[in-house]
């Protein structure tokens, strides 16, 4: 069994709450049967107070083996490098102290969520708490543990980025680690698991026909593509949100709002209102990944002029106002 310790710092706890939505009829059994032994989790364990401190001490003195350390939330280095914006209750010590010490003992270290990976939302604005990720600060390598950090397995911090994380991004990673099938080349250049980060949010988006014809949503609840006006970054963002759905049949774009790039470093400060697409001369600045600008402009103008009436009208309504025609073509 893989001994797992989960700690929370400068975040919201939402990745844990999301984890509990894992697609299983028996969450506790699911982890156990996947080879994961939960030493302690802030929401899921009996131990409290001095029992927890004793467990942390036993990891540090080597009497309890730590196979996987999951950190959720940013690491708060302020004020003035003291870490006092988050003291671990009952210990009189800053959480960043505990994280540094425990990370040195762990076979694997996982940043669960964009806060722990990059700093995330907590590093927004002028970053009042000097928040950072475990091994990144936005897209700059470093963070709390430093660029050279490797856990005892030899891997860098595994960045399960997302705000929140999809439950099965976490469980799939943990179970692959427990089975010893997760290797260095399973990580992308930002050390995210490739199994979800090698997709784009655009893949599987139900608004694809609107995208093809650049039939765009103009206001919240419209059915059209949200790239042109509504700030959607799904064609650039690494995640499988429209393939691996959320809470049953959901995703951001299926919920009627833009992908805000929550798996990407620095997403918290896009430099424009989240719900508006920044443009130059009427053309979105952020073009689909791997697509040359001239091609995009040419295709967009062509497809706009070829937009079927149905697609054009439905794009700016919240339900189908023009239904697909039924024709006796036998679909030849």
Partner 1 sequence: MSRLLVGPFNRVEGDLEVQLDITDGRVSSAQVNATMYRGFEQILQDKAPHDALVYVPRICGICSVSQSVASARALADLGGITMPPNGQHATNLILATENLADHLTHFYLFFMPDFARPVYAGHPWHAEALRRFAPDHGEQVRAATAARQRWLTLLGTLGGKWPHTQSVEPGGSTRAIDPAERVRLLAKVREFRSFLERQLFAAPLEAVAALETEAALWDWHAQAPLGGDLRFFLTLVRDLQLDALGPGPGRYLSYGAYAQSGGGWALPGGVWRAQTGALEALNPNAITEDATHAWLAHAREPLHPLHGITRPEPDKTGAYTWNKAPRLGGEVVETGAIARQLTSGMPLVRDVVARHGGTVYTRVLARLIELARVVPLMETWLQAIRPTEAFCVPSTLPDEGSGVGLSEAARGSLGHWLVVRRGRIANYQIVAPTSWNFSPRDATGTPGALEQALVGAPVRDGEKTPTAVQHIVRSFDPCMVCTVH
Restricted to residues 163-202, the positions that interact with partner 1 (CB under 8 A) are 163-164
When asked if residue 85 is in the footprint of partner 1 (CB under 8 A), the reply is yes
Short-list 168, 159, 150, 147, CA closest to 186: 159
Give the interface segment with partner 1, choosing from 42-50, 149-157, 179-187, 282-290 (CB under 8 A).
42-50
Mark the segment that binds partner 1 (CB under 8 A) among 100-108, 119-127, 178-186, 290-298: 119-127
Decide: is 91 part of the binding site for partner 1 (CB under 8 A): yes
From the list 2-10, 153-161, 194-202, 208-216, the region that binds partner 1 by CB under 8 A is 2-10
Inter-CA distances, 19 with 122, 151, 261, Å = 20, 24, 20
49 binds partner 1 (CB under 8 A): yes
Burial class of residue 152 in the structure, from the number of CB atoms within 10 Å of its CB (0-12 exposed, 13-18 middle, 19+ buried) = middle
Distance CA 195, CA 272 (A): 30
Nearest distance in Å: CB 96, partner 1: 12
User: Does the protein bind partner 1 through residue 284 (CB under 8 A)?
Assistant: no
Neighbours of 236 (CB within 10 A): 19
Nearer to partner 1, 189 or 271 (CB): 271
Q: How far is the CB of 115 from partner 1 (least distance, A)?
A: 9
313 binds partner 1 (CB under 8 A): no
Beta-carbon contacts of residue 76 (< 8 Å; ≥ 6 apart)? 9, 10, 83, 85, 86, 94, 95, 96, 122, 129, 130, 131
| CA end-to-end span of the chain | 56
Is 27 a binding residue for partner 1 by CB under 8 A? The answer is yes
Give, as ranges, the residues between 195 and 254 that touch partner 1 (CB under 8 A). Answer: 219-221, 245-254
Among 207, 314, 193, smallest CA distance to 252 is for 207
Q: Does 14 bind partner 1 (CB under 8 A)?
A: yes
């Amino acid at each position: 069994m893989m001994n797992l310790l989960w700690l929370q710092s400068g975040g919201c706890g939402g990745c844990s709450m999301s984890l509990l939505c894992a697609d299983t009829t028996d969450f506790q059994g699911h982890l156990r049967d996947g080879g994961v032994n939960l030493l302690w989790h802030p929401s899921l364990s009996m131990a409290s107070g001095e029992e927890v401190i004793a467990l942390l001490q036993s990891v540090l003195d080597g009497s309890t083996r730590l196979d996987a350390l999951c950190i959720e939330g940013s690491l708060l280095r302020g004020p003035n490098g003291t870490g006092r914006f988050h003291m671990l209750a009952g210990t009189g010590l800053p959480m960043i102290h505990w994280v540094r010490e425990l990370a040195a003992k762990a076979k694997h270290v996982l940043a669960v969520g964009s806060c722990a990976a990059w700093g995330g939302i907590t590093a927004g604005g002028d970053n009042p708490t000097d928040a950072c990720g475990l091994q990144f600060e936005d897209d700059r390598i470093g963070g709390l543990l430093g660029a050279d950090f490797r856990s005892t397995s030899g891997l860098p911090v595994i960045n399960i980025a997302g705000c929140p994380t999809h439950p099965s991004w976490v469980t799939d990673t943990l179970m692959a680690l427990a089975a010893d099938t997760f290797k260095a080349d399973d990580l992308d250049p930002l050390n995210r698991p490739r199994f979800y980060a090698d997709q784009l949010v655009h893949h599987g988006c139900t608004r694809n026909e609107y995208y093809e014809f650049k039939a765009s949503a103009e206001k919240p609840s419209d059915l059209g593509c949200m790239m042109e006006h509504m700030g959607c970054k799904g064609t650039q963002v690494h995640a499988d949100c429209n393939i691996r759905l959320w809470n049953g049949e959901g995703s951001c774009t299926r919920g009627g709002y833009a992908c805000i790039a929550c798996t990407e470093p620095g997403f918290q400060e896009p430099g424009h209102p989240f719900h508006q697409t920044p443009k130059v001369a009427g053309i979105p600045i952020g073009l689909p990944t791997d697509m040359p600008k001239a091609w995009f402009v040419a295709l967009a103008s062509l497809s706009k002029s070829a937009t079927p009436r149905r697609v054009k009208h439905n794009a700016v309504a919240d339900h189908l106002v023009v239904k697909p025609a039924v024709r006796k073509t036998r679909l030849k």
